[in-house]
Amino acid sequence: MSNPVGWFEIYVDDMDRAKAFYEEVFKTELEAIGDLNDDNLTMLAFPSDMEKYGAAGALVKMAGFSAGGNSTLVYFSCDDCAIEGARVTDAGGQVQQEKMSIGDYGFIILALDSEGNMFGLHSLQ
């Protein structure tokens, strides 16, 4: 099995708030996914290039599925995780673990988004 993660979803309670959070932290725009969006399901995709390494994903608001309390951690790749990490608090989240070394594998930051979901930032510098 190569590249075992093929897609990720981050469940949210307030799509507008979560969209603003991720767009501010990553300085990017999320876009609605096709005809999937209705009163019971809304998905906003992170920019992706299916020809490159890594997994694509989306913010998801779905009836019956709440945010927070999950046990799967998604790490976003960064050039220097300290840059995105510095934006977390101003965007409405919380840094749980400041930038720390993971030896030969680089550096990480752990944070909570505006919905209470924990996520990671990873970089080699």
- For residue range 37-50, what is the model confidence (pLDDT) as tens digits? 677 889 999 999 87
Q: Please list the alpha-helical segments (H only) found in the chain.
A: 15-26, 81-85
Q: For residue 36, is pLDDT > 70? A: no
Q: What is the pLDDT of residues 74-93, one digit of tens each?
A: 999 999 999 999 999 999 99
Q: What is the pLDDT of residues 107-121, one digit of tens each?
A: 999 999 999 999 999
- Compute the half-sphere exposure of residue 74: CA atoms within 13 Å on the CB side of its CA: 18
Give the CATH number, domain containing residue 82: 3.10.180.10
The domain tally of the chain equals: 1
Query: Is there a domain that residue 1 lies in?
Result: no
Query: Is there a domain that residue 97 lies in?
Result: yes
- Per-residue pLDDT band at 4 (split at 50, 70, 90): confident
Contact (CB, 8 A) for 59 and 119: no
pTM recorded for the entire structure: 0.87
Query: Is there a domain that residue 110 lies in?
Result: yes
Query: Is there a domain that residue 23 lies in?
Result: yes
